Structure 1
């Protein structure tokens, strides 16, 4: 069998010639001799045990076996998967905030009501509890494919039946980025957006589902999103303030460098920000990576970031500080900038496919 290393592998060198190997997305890790990194490097492309032994010797074959048992060498089709991330969506508690977000649910229902025609085939990509699939059926769809890979796939039929549309919602257990349905759909609905829209890293999977399963003239709900940032003239105390030398003598400043590279998600008050800047509209389907420019008329000690989902013609769902609060809230970035033009980019974090790296003017911040 040909095996490959997970794409989010993180290597930490330790004393005594050892390394700690971790795949955060798969939730596995192991301690190994430093030379085992060579085996993983060779398995950047799929390799068999025999190929590794021939190239590196019998000891490398033993390392190959150990890494396989630890879950650090996997089948090539599994290399980009993040089972731990998806397992996080398999519990009721994770869905509590999303199902309690009436702004979100109302916007999706209004968009589906405006989009779905009687007799339509609809895809719900990443169905979760099946709420959007059920809405689509209630709006007149003849058949809804609710694609869900977590254990919540077992709950969706009951939700649909209790809502009176059990005969029109068909659950497909699997990764929506890889599923091939038996027919093309006219509408695809998805709520796979994280903070700053692109966090969670699902957009590439949505695009793959669209290419496989949506009619050429099909409709995506939402059809686009707009990214926003605003300067925060004075950094709020809760952003970096906790990482200080406290009055009781505890010194937490060693955590400050890491905190500067991490986003903080919370409700931002309109009074905390300057003038919002429209970074641009992104049409669906899209990828996780994006580039743009932020133009600031004033310096700032931090940035606030959010997005607007363009659900359907005339139906938008803004998530900014001045808008009705959603479960996404807003995202604070500990990035101080002068007035002027600053390049902005979003990429997938190498250590975790569901985390994005937002780079503003050369300052990298991770957001999940």
Structure 2
């Protein structure tokens, strides 16, 4: 049996901003009598919100057996007679005529948990779906400066320097290591960072309609002292409900993702395929 990742789920259910946003979206979208599906239900908290809004059936689909078993115990203990937990793969599960689909399969930058492919697949097989939560997902980039970036990257580099001995010194490849640090996605608290440029839209997904999440994008960093590119997602949960991981958004468990800018480079290339981001850098020659 696959293990229940209790730490991961504890972090998510402890994220009040996330839960309040989804609860507000469900209140705005679900009508009494609607049949609701939560794709990737975990321990069932979103299903508990939906079950209180409709007398229609609500289904929580969960791939991991241990999580599905716990969700089933939760809905039974709560006396939610209209809730059913299905231990199935969302890509193959079928539900009779659902009206609303909700999912929180959102990765650190948005698409890494296959939310794009999952929602497209499910809606293709369930044309009765009237509303999807979230309906849109976009990824943005913005140059920033933060002392936290310097602390994180220097700690990373010191790990190599500490292994130097005699004539074997990592100082010989330090420039290369700094470049490779810039290919790594870090996640931490950057709430005190200074924004030093405009937001760049990297990709916009129309969930349920966009079939493939793969994309390539370029971010030009203007002169001005930025030491990182902050990458964040923006989700449209309902007409007036957004969920974001940008610096100014309410704190959430996704925190803030960034890629450090290597010395001498000013252009970030973002390549995304099959739930994996690849970051590379180049120099535009324009003094960035």
Which TM-score band (shorter chain)?
A: 0.7 to 0.9
DSSP 3-state at the match of 1:124: strand
CA distance in 2, matches of 1:100, 1:109: 14
Q: Which structure carries more relative contact order (alpha carbon 8 Å, separation 6+)? A: 2
CA contact (8 A) 2:184 2:279 kept: no
Residue 274 in 1 paired to residue 233 in 2?
A: no
* Higher Cα Rg, which structure: 1
Partner of 1:289: 214
Deviation at 1:220, TM superposition (A): 0.7
2:96 is equivalent to residue 171 of structure 1 = no
Instruction: Find the residue that maps to 1:127 and give its secondary structure.
Output: coil
1:158 aligns with 2:73: yes
TM-score w.r.t. the length of structure 1 is: 0.64
Q: Which residue does 2:59 correspond to in 1?
A: 145
In the TM superposition, residue 112 of structure 1 has moved relative to its aligned partner by 0.4
Q: Paired residue for 1:205, among 118, 132, 137?
A: 118
Give yes or no for the alignment of 1:356 onto 2:270: no
Q: Which residue does the alignment assign to 1:232?
A: 144
Which of 110, 113, 117 is residue 27 of structure 2 equivalent to?
113
Q: Summarize the Cα distance change of 1:141–1:307 in structure 2 as closer, same or farther, 3 Å threshold.
A: farther
Residues 263 and 332 in structure 1, CA contact (< 8 A), matched pair in contact too:
yes
Gaps of 5+ in 2: 284-288
TM-score by length of 2: 0.81
Task: Report the RMSD for the aligned CA atoms in angstroms.
Answer: 3.0
Residues 259-294 of structure 1: CA deviation (Å, up to 9, x unaligned): 443211111124343234040532112333134453
CA distance in 1, matches of 2:282, 2:89: 34
User: Within 2, Cα distance between the matches of 1:334 and 1:214?
Assistant: 43
CA contact (8 A) 1:239 1:334 kept: no
- The 2-side partners of 1:261 and 1:305 are apart by 13
Aligned equivalents of 1:122 and 1:271: distance in 2? 40
Distance (Å, rounded) in 1 between the aligned partners of 2:40 and 2:159: 44
Residue 302 (structure 1) shift: 2.2
1:1-368 aligned within 5 A: 87=2, 90-150=4-64, 151-165=66-80, 167-181=81-95, 183-215=96-128, 218-233=130-145, 236-245=149-158, 249-251=162-164, 253=170, 256=177, 259-279=181-201, 280-285=203-208, 286=210, 287-298=212-223, 300-336=226-262, 344-348=270-274, 355-359=275-279
The number of residues matched between the two structures is 267
* C-alpha contact (below 8 Å) 1:147/1:176 kept by paired residues: yes
Q: Secondary structure at the match of 2:163?
A: coil
Aligned CA distance change for structure 1 residues 339 and 242 (closer, same or farther; 3 Å):
closer
Structure 1 contact 231–275 (Cα < 8 Å) conserved: yes
